[in-house]
RNA sequence: GCCCCCGUAGCUCAGCUGGACAGAGCAAGUCACUUCUAAUGACUAGGCCGCAGGUUCGAAUCCUGUCGGGGGCGCCA
């Protein structure tokens, strides 16, 4: 790490990214022609053989101003105030402006990058954002379906936070539905003597849970099955839910036990994935809001009775497609997930002041969220300016292209999935003679990090909304675009810096590049801000995943041709060390935004 | 029946919301290690972007139609 001057927070410098700087220069040139500055947007060139950057605004500007695009482009070039940064400015095709920087300008820019200035990342106007990305059910073990929301949500949360927003992640437990009525009713039959079922008692229940998580995992499916087959039992289960939600002390105490042991079990799995929730709220958290909220939407006329149930019409005159009304109360008067979702929005707005609420949930729940969002805005539960968004995720599929299942057709637990990848990673490490020198404990730690990185990167490199095929062998490979390859890149950077440190070599000013691989690495290092911004904008970590790979690949190419420790020109060597420090700092940041840990060595 | 998503190289997937000959990884073939971790790098080959129209100076990207696959449509979450 390079240690610049320690700046007090209020003095922390804000700097612009390279493309933002260039865009401003071109924007000014457009403005001087009476055209909008937004046409000045400069992006990385699609044709690296022709130029480093390009500006395509002249074509759009010409269309709007009814001018000749090539003439507009030429006059923009002519009206750039400062041309010293440019080695080449060319006009091509219908009106592309090709831009190549001088090596000196590029080096100077790269030299100014550091962690304090976030490598040129401009922070957002801070917003209060709630990220809802868990959704596991109490009493059920986490399964494959919980993987994507967890790791995508965590990554976007970290990214939004890095950009300066006030973000909290909420697991939003499924802890208030029918399953708990079924469990309670079933337990009451099995253990009628338990104090929880004695209606004459209102307190003095056991401190610790009589049930272990393993018990719940067995009991839950049995109770669900029983409710399906036994109508009498189902009726008692429904009654138990009503009593639970009404606050019957014994039921609440038993339910609390189930919730506590479930959370403890979930945390173990989420911890392995580096997924950490600030809030462990659930559907039950907003129970006290349900009645007043329902009354309010009924009184306002937004909600009305339909087939005995209470619904909110969410279709408008502008809709060409059919959108069914949102059901907010069942015909028996009980609340359901729509009720809880609405009340949860109310809670997040009133208690936290949420300006944006993002739901990282399976895309298949798209219609539900569309209905809930519309209802929330229509009823004023969410003020109009509050952004409600459902960046949905696709599924994890098996080799057959269908949602992942175990060999016997069951649902694979998340713990089993992680174990599978970590085991394969351990095998790969074992196959390699280089790991032999590490003791078993370190090998185990490395296998865990490599395995989890393999799993997470294998997932995150796909766009959030697409389904992908889970392939342990491919994910854990050290070759190609994989988690292990990225970790290996980071480890090599660390290794060079460690060696350099041992020899008393220090990083210095970045000087003008002389070889392509060096120049390309610099250009790559400059791209981070736009990639981070794009990830946040699209709520899609695959942009960061892709960029992290490109960065490591450019580092590897540079490393191949530029032998840092052997370099005799001391200024060049110091410059290269600086580049490696920057590459490592950026890579660590990118991986931290993907919530992937980096080992010291491997 | 209505609605949503997907169809890109042999395989797995990107493609920054209209820009220049469509990209990556794997697999295949060729080449480079007395190395700072070769757990690497270089090169070759591979695609009428499902199909047919349309809008545009310009379309994998937008519109219409069509075929194929997946998913969703009030008392489960």
Residues 568-587 of A with CB under 7 A from strand B: none
Nucleotides of B under 7 A from a protein CB: 2-6, 12-16, 19-21, 23-27, 35-42, 57-58, 71-77
* Amino acid A522 CA to nucleotide B61 C1' distance, rounded Å: 30
Confidence at residue A110, expressed as pLDDT on a 0 to 100 scale: 97
- Give the closest residue to B13 (Cα–C1′): A462
Is-above-0.90 flag for pTM?
A: yes
Least confident of A202-211, A347-356, A399-408: A399-408
- Using the CA of A552, give the nucleotide whose C1' is nearest: B40
**A317 pLDDT tier (thresholds 50, 70, 90):** confident
User: Binning pLDDT at 50, 70 and 90, where does residue A13 land?
Assistant: low
Query: CA A73, C1' B57: Å apart?
Result: 15
Nearest nucleotide (C1') to alpha carbon of A554: B41
Q: CA quadruple A489, A502, A569, A101: dihedral positive or negative?
A: positive
Q: What is the ipTM of this complex?
A: 0.96
Q: Which residue is nearest to nucleotide B56 (CA to C1')?
A: A63
Nucleotide nearest to A332 (CA to C1'): B75
A414-457 pLDDT per residue, tens: 999 999 999 999 999 888 766 777 888 999 999 999 999 999 99
What is the rounded CA–CA span in Å between residue A541 and residue A537?
A: 10
- Centre a 10 Å sphere on the Cβ of residue A6 and count the other Cβ atoms it contains: 7
A9 pLDDT above the threshold of 60: no
Q: Map A127-153 to HEC letters.
A: CEEEEECCCCECCCCCEHHHHHHHHHH
Residues 6 or more apart whose Cβ sits within 8 Å of residue A537: none
Which pLDDT does position A10 carry in this prediction? 43
The residue that minimises its CA distance to C1' of B74 is A327
Residue A228 Cβ < 7 Å to strand B: no
Over chain A, what is the mean pLDDT? 93
Stretch A273-283: mean pLDDT: 97
- What are A329's two structure tokens? 């109360």
Q: Tokens at residue A362, please? A: 């399976």
Q: What is the pLDDT of residue A424?
A: 95
Which helix (H) or strand (E) element contains residue A97? strand A96-101
A325 touches strand B (CB under 7 A): yes
- Strand B–CB A224 distance below 7 A: no
Which residue(s) pair with A92 in the sheet?
A96
* Among chain A residues 374-403, those with CB within 7 Å of any atom of strand B: 397, 401
Kindly report each contact of residues A34-42 with a partner whose C-beta sits within 8 Å and lies 24 or more positions away, as own/partner. A34/A65, A35/A61, A35/A64, A35/A65, A35/A72, A36/A61, A40/A76, A42/A99
pLDDT in tens, A81-110: 999 999 999 999 999 999 999 999 999 999
pLDDT digits (tens, 9 = 90+) for A181-236: 999 999 999 999 999 999 999 999 999 999 999 999 899 989 999 998 899 999 99
Give the CA A8 to C1' B72 distance in Å: 53
Nucleotide B1 C1' to residue A321 CA (A): 13
Alpha-carbon distance A32 to A541, whole Å? Answer: 38
Protein-nucleic contacts, chain A 531-550 to strand B, CB < 7 Å = 534, 540, 542-543, 546, 549
Distance in Å from the first CA to the final CA of chain A: 20
A474-507: per-residue pLDDT in tens?
999 999 999 999 999 999 999 999 999 999 999 9
User: Is the CB of A432 within 7 Å of strand B?
Assistant: yes
Nucleotide nearest A401, from its CA to each C1':
B70
Q: How confident is the model at residue A411 (pLDDT cuts 50, 70, 90)?
A: confident
Distance A479 CA to B25 C1' (A): 9
Q: Does the nearest atom of strand B lie within 7 Å of A283's Cβ? A: yes
- Return the closest nucleotide (C1') to the Cα of A306: B74
Q: Is there contact between A479 and strand B, defined as CB under 7 Å from any strand atom?
A: yes
Cα(A276)–Cα(A154) distance, rounded to whole angstroms? 7
Q: Is the CB of A434 under 7 A from strand B?
A: yes
The predicted structure's pLDDT at residue A489 = 96
A379-383: long-range contacts (C-beta < 8 A, 24 or more apart)?
A: A379/A296, A379/A297, A379/A300, A379/A302, A379/A303, A379/A312, A379/A342, A381/A293, A381/A297, A381/A342, A381/A345, A381/A346, A381/A349, A382/A345, A382/A346, A382/A349, A382/A357, A383/A349
- Residue A11: the pLDDT is 44
């Amino acid at each position: 790490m390079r240690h610049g001057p320690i700046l007090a927070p209020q003095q922390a410098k804000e700097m612009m990214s390279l493309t933002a700087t260039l865009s401003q220069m071109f924007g000014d040139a457009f403005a001087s022609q009476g055209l909008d500055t937004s046409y000045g947007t400069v992006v990385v060139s699609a044709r690296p053989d022709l130029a480093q950057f390009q500006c395509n605004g002249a074509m759009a500007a010409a269309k709007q101003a009814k001018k000749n695009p090539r003439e507009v482009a030429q006059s923009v070039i002519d009206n750039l105030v400062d041309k010293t940064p440019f080695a080449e400015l060319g006009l091509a095709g219908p009106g592309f402006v090709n831009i190549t920087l001088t090596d000196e300008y590029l080096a100077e820019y790269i030299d100014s990058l550091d962690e304090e200035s976030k490598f040129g990342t401009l922070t957002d106007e801070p917003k209060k954002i709630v990220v809802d990305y868990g959704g596991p059910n109490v009493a059920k073990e986490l399964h494959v379906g919980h993987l994507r929301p967890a790791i995508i949500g965590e990554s976007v949360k970290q990214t939004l936070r890095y950009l300066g927003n006030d973000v909290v992640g909420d697991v939003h437990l499924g802890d208030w539905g029918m399953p708990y009525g079924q469990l309670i009713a079933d337990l009451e039959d099995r253990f009628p003597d338990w104090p929880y079922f004695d209606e004459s008692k209102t307190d003095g229940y056991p401190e610790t849970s009589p049930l272990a998580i393993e018990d719940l995992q067995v009991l839950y499916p049995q109770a669900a099955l029983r409710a399906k087959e036994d109508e009498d039992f189902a009726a008692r289960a429904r009654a138990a839910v009503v009593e639970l939600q009404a606050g019957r002390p014994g039921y609440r105490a038993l339910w609390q036990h189930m919730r506590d042991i479930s959370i403890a079990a979930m945390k173990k799995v989420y911890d392995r994935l580096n997924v950490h929730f600030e809030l462990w709220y659930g559907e039950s958290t907003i129970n006290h809001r349900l009645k007043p909220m329902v009354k309010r939407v009924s009184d306002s006329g937004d909600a009305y009775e339909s087939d005995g149930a209470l619904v909110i019409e969410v279709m408008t005159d502008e809709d060409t497609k059919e959108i069914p009304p949102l059901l907010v109360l069942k015909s028996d008067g009980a609340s359901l997930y729509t009720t809880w979702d609405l009340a949860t929005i109310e809670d997040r707005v009133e208690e936290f002041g949420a300006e944006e609420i993002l739901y990282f949930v399976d895309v298949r729940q798209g219609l539900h969220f569309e209905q809930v969002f519309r209802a929330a805005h229509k009823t004023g539960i969410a003020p109009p300016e509050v952004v409600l968004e459902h960046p949905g995720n696709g599924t994890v599929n098996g080799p057959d292209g269908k949602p992942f299942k175990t060999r016997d057709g069951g649902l694979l637990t998340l713990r089993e999935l992680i174990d599978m990848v970590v085991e394969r990673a351990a095998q790969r490490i074992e196959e390699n003679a280089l790991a032999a020198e590490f003791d078993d404990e370190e090998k185990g730690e490395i296998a865990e990090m490599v395995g989890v990185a393999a799993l997470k990167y294998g997932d995150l490199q796909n766009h959030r909304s697409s389904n992908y095929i889970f392939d342990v062998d491919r994910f854990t490979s050290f070759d190609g675009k994989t988690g292990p390859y990225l970790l290996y890149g980071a480890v090599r950077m660390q290794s060079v810096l460690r060696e350099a440190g041992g020899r008393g070599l220090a990083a210095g000013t970045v000087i003008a590049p002389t070889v392509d691989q060096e120049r390309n690495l610099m250009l790559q290092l400059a791209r981070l801000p736009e990639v981070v911004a794009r990830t946040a904008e699209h709520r899609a970590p695959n942009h960061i995943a892709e960029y992290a790979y490109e960065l490591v690949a450019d580092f590897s190419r540079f490393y191949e041709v530029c032998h840092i420790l052997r370099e005799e020109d001391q200024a060049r060597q110091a410059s290269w060390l600086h580049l490696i420090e920057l590459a490592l700092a950026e890579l660590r940041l990118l991986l931290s935004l993907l919530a992937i840990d980096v080992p010291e060595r491997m």
